[in-house]
Structure 1
Amino acid sequence: MKLFGLLVFLSSSVAVAVTAEQVLKTAWTDKTYLSYDEIQATDSRNPLRNVEGFVGREQNGTEATEIGVKFQLKSWPEWTRGRDKTDEQKLLKNTSLGWALQTRYNALLLFELTQQKLKCVEDAVSLSERYVKAQSLSLRAGRGTSKAFLSAKSDLYRFQRIQSTLTQERDLLLKRILNWVPDAKEKKVESLDLIQVEDISMALQEHFHDGDSLSKKIIHEEIEQMGQELAIVKGREQQWIKALELSQKKKKDADTQYEVELVIQIPILGSDVLAKQKQNELILKRALKQKELEESGDQLQNLRTQILNLIEIYRSAKKMERITVGTLDSLTNMDRKIAQRQEQLDLLNQQQEITMLYLNYLLESEILIKNPDKNYIDKKQKEI
């Protein structure tokens, strides 16, 4: 019984590495995502901008008390062009969740591939060190050339610089990932069963998404908001009735007096320069956004085509990498082994580019938003 209790204690005290799913789950607690709960509707259909009550007392021989209320009125566009918060809030909140997920996906992907690159580069450094020694011996024996020796040293230094850069990147990525899971006992990240390029190719072939990209929808929303704001600014400048004031004045030993005061502005007699500047600014911004929208083209199709083209390039490079080398430790074989490590590193860089573009495609097609509960860079697509 004591032995069983000890085993339970030891198993519970063993620290577990942070999983990708734990990291991705923190997207739902992202401050930007949560902030969109505070969006308010502007479609109150209430003609009043503000209501003020006031009380006054005068003592100039005859004591008088005045009470009243002042109604400040909205312009016609403010009153009639308000919008329900539901659609706007849903789009912006879902987008911010997608951004939060994509940021975490990118960090996890880069961390996993950086570790794979480091293994490849460490092997390349070890091979290069042996190759430099072999070239040095060959040069001393009069069988090699100084050019081959210097080329070998140059390759070694290049791989060492890459190793140093990758180590720094890995440490920074690890720190960033652990910041999302500050309560983790083990300061390590569990290795990913990462999706491969062929998995991405199959996913793109099976699921083609038509329609506007998420970026286009956001631009549409920005143009809509600018149009609403522009209408309101124009409406305020052209507004005739600004406020209505109702008051009651009561003097000592006198009848109660009631007053109605209407505050108006006459647009044709004056011009608000600041209002016109604001209108011009909004018109320019809206025109630029409209131009951006028209020039964006079919973003989803373009992104999909770009990924598929890169996959074909990757496949060609993969076929070249399959060429085998001999087992003998000759200079030629060592040189080929080093070149092979460089090819493996290049393939990992290509895989990184393709997978990051694929994540962008998942966001732009809103797959990441509509079905956010699974890990898209895991082969088994584990539940988050």
Structure 2
Amino acid sequence: MFWLSWIFASTAVWAATPEQILKTAWTDQTYLVHDEIKSTDSKNPFRSVDAFASTEDKSKPDTEVGLKFQLKSWPEWRSGRSRLGQQRLQKESALSWALRDRYGLLANYQLNQQKLKLLSEAKATSEAFSKAQALSLKAGRSTQKTFLNAQSEEYKLKRMENTIELEQEILKDKIQRWLGADKDKSLESYELVSVDDIYKAVKETAPEGSLTAKLAGEELTNIGQELEIVRGRENQWVKSFEVSHVKKPDESHYQFEVTLQLPPFGSDDMLREKQNELILKKALKQREIENTGDRLKIMRLQILNLVEIYQIEKKKRGSFVKGADPLVNLEAKLTSLEEQVDLLNQQQEVTLLYLDYLLENESLAKEPEKNFLIAGKR
């Protein structure tokens, strides 16, 4: 008895909980890398400061010591705005994407487990139905076409089962990478949020703002700033200045030198090409922002429409009722099981789109600790 308890306890330890999976988002490299990003809001007018020293030969022990200041252009100096808000948005979005990946795994794994259970029963029913059709064919009560259709259905279910089992292995590999656990790591079963709950949650929320639009807006600002800096460098007159101290045997003095750029007399083709590239990039980004303006509204409408279709299909498909004919009973049971699998496929589509909606409306960023997939935790 002790050994049985020990074996059961050891097996239970290997099942990861949804919360354990979600917590790994905070250790995702795409999120952690943002802690290494350095501030770029310096108001320093100098691009670089170089120190230099020189001396003549022994017969003329002249020495010169000085500093060379490379200047930023006026637009570059002026554009040293604080990017703390932008960096915070990027970090929050990185965490949101990491959470979205893990939510997707949780939903797919749970629904795949339910589908595998139904497919196992459907496959057994299909095998029994094929055998019954074979006997019926021998007895002359069914046709060759009916028998072949039954076999084809059996092969289709086996392929579907194999595909989902492969998907589950891929998901388990992800669990292993995230948790650093054994390859056979599985996920603890939990009560997944229902389609009706998703409908209520989406219906109650107003589509305001958009993560994609915010990130694109920040990127557009950066492109505009970079374009301004490139243009400023091309039109920059004062490039640098030097301050040095010259010491000779018979005298000692300071000297000041200025390096000027004469924009009207020069042409930097590389800078021009860069400007052209940024102008086109800015125009494309502006169009992208315009196209994503109604993204949240479209996603919300898609979810509501898919849920309505799901509810209609669910009402149309009745439960299996056993009759007098064994062959008809097997066929009816098989149809009922396949319909249940189809409903799970529709639920999967709705759930994954709902997760994209939570990412896009910044719910994942605002409440990263909340589990949106557990039933009753809206």
TM-score range, shorter chain: over 0.9
The answer to whether the 8 A contact 2:173-2:183 is kept is no
Counterpart among 232, 236, 239 of residue 236 in structure 2: 239
Alpha-carbon distance between aligned partners in 2 of 1:43 and 1:153, rounded to the nearest angstrom: 69
Structure 2 counterpart of 1:172, which letter?
I
Alpha-carbon distance between aligned partners in 1 of 2:232 and 2:9, rounded to the nearest angstrom: 70
User: In the TM superposition, what whole-angstrom CA distance separates every residue of 1:48-92 from its partner, at most 9, and x where no partner exists?
Assistant: 111111111111732101100101100011100122121011100
Alpha-carbon distance between aligned partners in 2 of 1:328 and 1:191, rounded to the nearest angstrom: 37
The answer to whether the 8 A contact 1:71-1:245 is kept is yes
Alpha-carbon distance between aligned partners in 2 of 1:365 and 1:97, rounded to the nearest angstrom: 14
Counterpart among 294, 299, 315 of residue 290 in structure 2: 294
What is aligned with 1:142?
140
Question: How far did residue 338 of structure 1 move?
Answer: 1.2
Question: How far did residue 329 of structure 1 move?
Answer: 5.6
Structure 1 residues 130 and 111: CA distance shift in structure 2, 3 A: same
Counterpart among 214, 223, 228 of residue 225 in structure 2: 228
Question: How far did residue 334 of structure 1 move?
Answer: 1.4
Structure 2 counterpart of 1:132, which letter?
S
Counterpart among 346, 350, 353 of residue 349 in structure 2: 353
Please list, as runs of the form range in 1=range in 2, the aligned pairs for 1:1-384 lying within 5 A after superposition: 15-59=13-57, 61-183=59-181, 187-210=185-208, 212-252=209-249, 254-328=250-324, 330-381=326-377
Give the TM-score, by structure 2 length.
0.94
The answer to whether the 8 A contact 1:18-1:186 is kept is no
Question: How far did residue 43 of structure 1 move?
Answer: 2.5
Question: How far did residue 121 of structure 1 move?
Answer: 1.0
User: In the TM superposition, what whole-angstrom CA distance separates every residue of 1:209-255 from its partner, at most 9, and x where no partner exists?
Assistant: 42x21001111011001001111111111100000101111112x11
The answer to whether the 8 A contact 1:43-1:80 is kept is no
Q: Unaligned 5+ residue runs, structure 1?
A: 1-6
Alpha-carbon distance between aligned partners in 2 of 1:25 and 1:313, rounded to the nearest angstrom: 34
Alpha-carbon distance between aligned partners in 1 of 2:125 and 2:11, rounded to the nearest angstrom: 41
Structure 2 counterpart of 1:24, which letter?
L
Question: How far did residue 184 of structure 1 move?
Answer: 6.7
The answer to whether the 8 A contact 1:75-1:239 is kept is yes
Alpha-carbon distance between aligned partners in 2 of 1:178 and 1:191, rounded to the nearest angstrom: 17
Number of aligned positions between the proteins:
375
Structure 2 counterpart of 1:248, which letter?
H
Structure 1 residues 298 and 122: CA distance shift in structure 2, 3 A: same
Alpha-carbon distance between aligned partners in 2 of 1:27 and 1:184, rounded to the nearest angstrom: 19
RMSD over aligned CA atoms reads 2.2
The answer to whether the 8 A contact 1:247-1:258 is kept is yes
User: In the TM superposition, what whole-angstrom CA distance separates every residue of 1:190-226 from its partner, at most 9, and x where no partner exists?
Assistant: 012101100101111223242x210011110110010
User: In the TM superposition, what whole-angstrom CA distance separates every residue of 1:323-380 from its partner, at most 9, and x where no partner exists?
Assistant: 4422546222211211111111111110001000101111111111101111111114
The answer to whether the 8 A contact 1:243-1:262 is kept is yes
Q: Unaligned 5+ residue runs, structure 2?
A: none
Alpha-carbon distance between aligned partners in 2 of 1:272 and 1:36, rounded to the nearest angstrom: 35
Alpha-carbon distance between aligned partners in 1 of 2:319 and 2:355, rounded to the nearest angstrom: 31
Identity %: 48
Question: How far did residue 187 of structure 1 move?
Answer: 2.2
After the TM superposition, which of the residue ranges 307-316 and 112-121 deviates more from structure 2?
112-121
Alpha-carbon distance between aligned partners in 2 of 1:266 and 1:283, rounded to the nearest angstrom: 24
Alpha-carbon distance between aligned partners in 2 of 1:82 and 1:287, rounded to the nearest angstrom: 23
Structure 2 counterpart of 1:233, which letter?
V
Structure 1 residues 314 and 28: CA distance shift in structure 2, 3 A: same
Alpha-carbon distance between aligned partners in 1 of 2:62 and 2:307, rounded to the nearest angstrom: 87
Alpha-carbon distance between aligned partners in 2 of 1:319 and 1:134, rounded to the nearest angstrom: 30
After the TM superposition, which of the residue ranges 355-364 and 37-46 deviates more from structure 2?
37-46
Alpha-carbon distance between aligned partners in 1 of 2:38 and 2:234, rounded to the nearest angstrom: 25
After the TM superposition, which of the residue ranges 366-375 and 55-64 deviates more from structure 2?
55-64
Structure 2 counterpart of 1:153, which letter?
Q
Alpha-carbon distance between aligned partners in 2 of 1:168 and 1:327, rounded to the nearest angstrom: 37
Structure 2 counterpart of 1:378, which letter?
I
Question: How far did residue 14 of structure 1 move?
Answer: 6.5
Structure 2 counterpart of 1:83, which letter?
R
Q: Give the SS at the match of 1:59.
A: coil
After the TM superposition, which of the residue ranges 180-189 and 83-92 deviates more from structure 2?
180-189
Structure 1 counterpart of 2:204, which letter?
E
The answer to whether the 8 A contact 1:214-1:365 is kept is yes
